Chains A and B, each alone.
Chain A
Amino acid sequence: MLLPAVSAGDVVQMNQDCAMPPTALAAAGPPPPGGWYRSRSSAGLRSLFARVARRRRCDAARRSLLTSGAVLVPWLAPALASAAGSSAAAGPTGTPVGGALITFYVFGALALAGAILTITRKNPVSAALFLVLTLVSTGGIYLALHASFLAAIQVLVYAGAIMVLFIFVVMSVGKPDDRESVSLLAAWPTKLLGLLAIGALVFRIAMVVGQPNFAAAGPVAAQYGSVEQMGRLLFSDYLFPFEAISILLLVAIVGAVMVTRRPAVEASEGEAQR
């Protein structure tokens, strides 16, 4: 069973639902002589500002609802259908078959929502926190895929260490960039090319995924994905990559310290001033 793609009809329907009804425009009343921008009276200006602010809030909320809804609704629909169908059936051992599937769909929806919000937030702190949501949800999916050790590592290293590093840097350098929304259309041919490449990539992945030669996932051993199995794998077959990645981590730490170190001249000047 494959997920349906986001159909154009859904989006059009949502656009029509979200469109401002003509009565709302009529209720705003006729513009004052000379138009809204020319009106000199403070009452007119105030109502204009209020209207613009309200419109902007509405638009932002509507847009984020539209984008997440357009992805999430087709994603969740088969999940609920299959959950309803399979939760009644019980496996040979008595455990419900749909448990892992329900976990996967719930965490998958959370991960998608977090990803959408990560790339749309203007404030880097919000983006980082929504990225934490995505990373923790991915950890939940790992659990559903019988990768328990990786789930723990995902939460500890990714959602813990790496994101704490991000939050530290965001707090020390990042302020919300006001010019960003303006520059969304800057260099648009490059961005259009990039978006086309993304579309081609996702289309190609969808074509490969649609082919039926993926074997159905069978049952695995109880020890699959445990710390013991991961340890055996990393210290036998993958011993060399394991050691190489530890050297890489050491080099990265030294490099990070060197890059962020203040230049010697500046440091000595600072001491001289003190």
Chain B
Amino acid sequence: MIPTPHVLILAALLFGLGLVGVVLRRNVLIVLMSVELMLNAVNLTLVGFARGRGEMAGQGFTFLIIALAAAEAAVGLAIVVAIFRSRRTVNVDEVNLMKH
């Protein structure tokens, strides 16, 4: 038996690491990967709760979130490719056309 708090702590650590990646990294590809990491941590929380309560609802949510992550990755990476074509950069600090 896996205690639910252990799953939650692992998920919180993974979520925190993903958040650190989003805040600290400037390469937009790694920022997107960190977002995937955070989504993954949330999925782990949902599956942990589903197991703890013996219900299937959390697993249904997780299934939907995985499909959502696929859509998010497709659109996000398409935007990255479009930005790279026009600006020749993947650094999020250099994509500041709206600023000036």
Contact = CB atoms under 8 A, between A and B. Distances in A.
Contacts of B95: none
A180 B75 contact: no
Nearest to A149: B59
Nearest to A257: B78
Interface residues of B, number: 70
- Give the secondary structure class of B's interface: helix
A184 B92 CA distance: 13
A179 B27 CA distance: 10
Given A169-B77, A238-B60, A206 B9 contact: yes
B12 A209 contact: yes
A241 interface: yes
A71 B13 CA distance: 9
A14 interface: no
Interface residues on A, range: 35 or more
Interface in A189-233: 191, 194-195, 198, 201-202, 205-206, 209-210, 214-218, 220, 224-225, 229-230, 233
Interface of B: 1-10, 12-21, 23-27, 29-30, 32-34, 36-37, 40, 43-44, 47-48, 50-54, 56-57, 59-60, 62-64, 66-75, 77-82, 84-85, 90-91, 93
14 contacts: A112-B13, A115-B13, A134-B40, A147-B59, A154-B66, A173-B90, A215-B4, A215-B52, A218-B1, A229-B56, A233-B57, A237-B57, A238-B64, A259-B79
Interface of A: 1-3, 71, 97, 100-101, 104, 108, 111-112, 115-116, 118-119, 121, 124, 127-128, 131, 134-135, 138, 141-142, 144-147, 149-150, 153-154, 157-158, 161-162, 165-166, 169-170, 172-174, 177, 179-180, 183-184, 186-187, 191, 194-195, 198, 201-202, 205-206, 209-210, 214-218, 220, 224-225, 229-230, 233-234, 237-238, 241-242, 245-246, 248-249, 251-253, 255-257, 259-260, 262
